[in-house]
Chain A
């Protein structure tokens, strides 16, 4: 007979044979502690590095502080100030525009590229995928510096290239065209398009490869054309992945920071056109030193993101229920 290998096993045997010498209660207590013992490293780290800072940041958002010797409780006045702060609303508007740009330009383009690459008998598919995916492996700082040079007036590749191209059709493109001055959001969206369209394309490619072939074949037999097939077979099949990509894009867009920070030389760009919520948080917390106000901005951002996630979940549930 194999000897019992666990305390619980020993207890069961003791119960079966009625052995009074096996310490039943104590063993059960110890056995109950073991899972907690294994969980304790995570729980301690979670409490120390996640839970405590979270609670502390709520407290901080209700204070004005300057180092350990200078802290005053100000209640909700940081949040009240935020609601009346035109710069916060500018940041929110810019972030929302960037997010919409990401959703309505980047994701359809990513899906289009994925669909194009799923064309049967396409040669060089792997290379094209690698080419499109590779910008997402480049650091944001590098990409931001590159685009700030590309969009320079006079010497930038964008203006020089457009001048050369348009001169062929008799249009004189001004080298003084201020991409980084007057068209800030367009430059940010173009830069992020270059970086992330290939990344999102891979999610759609994976989803498209999992669309059931028998359903497609059945729809072909039933006489459905490519557009009808796309809307009635492909879209429902990739909807869960599309939902995930949308949510990740929204969260990533709302956390936009490095790209404008580097492209506009540590500023929010002319007339705050590159001001995003996280950039405004950074400016308040680490440039002005108002950590309380920065915490309030951080919590406002958290509320917005939770709301976006909730909307996405509700929409997904509604669609699931409808199907």
Chain B
């Protein structure tokens, strides 16, 4: 025993286990101290949440860095990860990235407190001074605007059209130019729902839509002129337009006039159903075409776009789905000159003809900068949409895109309206009552419940007087 002790280099009072722990502690502390002492990076950081955006920006950022500007480090994060880090940064007043590309629902969450607590730099005066408020399509600002102040540079317009299986429609001899309203759509397209294989079920349905899909519901509510909040961010869930839309959708989903079925987006199962022709038409914001091109290439040349059927003759033929902005967190602006450097980068990325082309070529997305809308790139035939000039079709609808709002209770309100639609549809199925009068009466009841829940949530927020609700 004594011989073994003599062989170690450790003193008698230091057991080997303790020596290992102490050694590890020493190494980790040194690494931490060395990291802390390292000079701060000269690079600014930009975070984005979408891989196509990341791939599109990468060469632009490299060019920017090579041209002697303040270098930027572009990073791709998953959407939930980015939104959580952003919220943690804003709520904890700690730095995150210098420039953030954020999705619509993530941004509205940052508007829950008093105006001075919003984590993004207020861009209103800069946008006014540089004429960008006029240059950019007005509805594109609405999701980033709270209490009259704009906190983001818009990336897109995202008008919605109806993408349909031209091969099936044309084979059935249907002329879509005769479709002006949703009623026309159901009537004119009805022959496609024939039960040719004799199993008692229609072979296909006309519209890809289900009561649990909040995006589809929002598209239709906004198109009809309804929605969740008014321009003062007061909840208006039980308004007559929403009542009518919910009751009509219930007839699409259940009963003898059923025309809709569920072929979920972004899933292999849903893509299979679409490729098999289970649904004829789907809602198509401008970004959707690129996704279908990659996920369902077999439908290339079989699809076409048409404006959304209106709710009433002469009504709006489009809606809006999704949205992204570029924002500068307040924590990134520490000293004079910081904002200017970051703003120059934002403009170079979003407000350039190069970006407009990349955005359309690589993502099918139409720029919100109106002066570029006359560019011939938008007239190029799109092979996926059977040679239609998809860009031009979307731009024709862009000025009519409905305004949205940025209430922090948007998501909460949307889920409550979805709850109302689910209850309404299930009740109709159980009671087998599909007449509009009954459905509207029940929709009113369910929407009133939803309205009460949203009001109660807003009332808990003592900052909401300043946030707009009720003021």
Q: Judging by beta carbons under 8 Å apart, are B419 and A271 in contact?
A: yes
Contact of B109 among A182, A288, A291 (CB under 8 A): A288
Complex formed: what's the CA distance from A275 to B261 in Å? 25
Contacts A286-B87, A293-B460 known; 10 new A-B pairs at CB < 8 A = A66-B112, A66-B114, A67-B113, A72-B462, A84-B456, A152-B267, A154-B262, A268-B415, A269-B212, A287-B412
Asked whether A69 lies within 8 Å of B462 as measured between CB atoms, the reply is: no
A152 to B375, CA, bound (A): 44
Are B423 and A66 closer than 8 Å at their CB atoms?
no
* Contact residues in B for A124 (Cβ distance below 8 Å): none
Residue of B nearest to A152 (CB): B269
The reply to whether A153 and B262 form a contact with Cβ atoms under 8 Å apart is yes
Interface, chain B (partner A; CB < 8 A): 80, 84, 87, 90-93, 109-110, 112-114, 116-117, 119, 211-212, 214, 261-262, 264, 267, 269, 272-273, 278, 408-409, 411-412, 415, 418-419, 422-423, 426, 453, 456-457, 460-463
Instruction: Tell me which residues from 122 to 155 in chain A have a Cβ below 8 Å from any Cβ of chain B.
Output: 149, 152-155
Q: Which of A142-195 contact B (CB under 8 A)?
A: 149, 152-156, 176, 181-182
Interchain residue pairs with CB less than 8 A apart (26): A64-B461, A64-B463, A66-B91, A66-B113, A66-B117, A67-B90, A67-B113, A67-B119, A69-B117, A77-B460, A85-B456, A86-B453, A152-B267, A155-B272, A181-B211, A182-B426, A269-B212, A270-B419, A271-B419, A271-B426, A283-B412, A288-B411, A288-B412, A288-B457, A289-B91, A290-B112
**A264 → chain B closest CB, angstroms:** 9
| Closest residue of A by beta carbon distance from B273 | A154
CA A268 to CA B114, docked complex, whole Å: 29
Q: Which A residues touch B114, using CB under 8 A?
A: 66, 69-70
Q: Which of A21-35 contact B (CB under 8 A)?
A: none
| Nearest Cβ on chain A to B256's Cβ, whole angstroms | 16
| Cβ proximity bits A65-104 to B, threshold 8 Å, 1 near / 0 not | 0111110101001100100111100000000000000000
- Residues of chain A within 8 A of B84, CB atoms compared: 286
Contact mask for chain A residues 37-72; partner B; CB cutoff 8 A; 1 contact, 0 none: 000000000000000000000000000101111101
Shortest CB-to-CB span from B209 to chain A, Å, is 14
The answer to whether A74 and B453 touch across the interface, beta carbons within 8 angstroms, is: no
Q: Which residues of B contact A181 (CB under 8 A)?
A: 211-212, 422
Chain A residues positioned under 8 Å from B278 (CB to CB): 154
Bound complex: CA of A211 vs CA of B456, how far in Å? 56
Among A66, A266, A270, A293, the residue within 8 A (CB) of B211 is A270
- Chain B residue nearest in CB terms to A293: B460
Known contacts A67-B92, A271-B419, A293-B460; A87 and B453 CB within 8 A of each other: yes
Q: Which of B264, B422, B460 contacts A81 (CB 8 A)?
A: B460
Question: Which range holds the interface residue count of chain A?
Answer: 35 or more
User: Are A70 and B463 in contact, with the CB atoms below 8 A?
Assistant: yes
- A270–B87 Cα distance when bound, in Å, is 27
Q: Mark A100-114, 1 if CB is under 8 A from B, else 0.
A: 000000000000000
B272 CB to nearest chain A CB (Å) = 6
Asked whether A69 and B93 contact (CB < 8 A) given A84-B456, A153-B262, A288-B408, the answer is yes
A155 to B262, CA, bound (A): 11
User: Any chain B CB within 8 A of the CB of A7?
Assistant: no
Q: Check A202 for interface membership: any CB of B closer than 8 A.
A: no
Interface check A219, CB cutoff 8 A: no
The verdict on A234 contacting chain B, using a C-beta distance below 8 Å, is: no
Complex alpha-carbon distance, A137 and B205, angstroms = 42
A272 at the interface (CB under 8 A from B): yes
CB distance from B93 to the nearest CB of A (A): 5
Contact A70 B117 (CB under 8 A): yes
For the complex formed, measure the closest distance between the CB of B103 and the CB atoms of chain A, giving whole angstroms.
13
With A66-B463, A86-B453 already in contact, the answer to whether A288 and B409 are too (CB < 8 A) is yes
A250 to B422, CA, bound (A): 30
Inter-chain contact B93/A289, CB cutoff 8 Å: no
A267 close to chain B: CB less than 8 A: yes
User: CB-CB < 8 A to B457: which residues of A?
Assistant: 288, 290
A306 to B55, CA, bound (A): 51
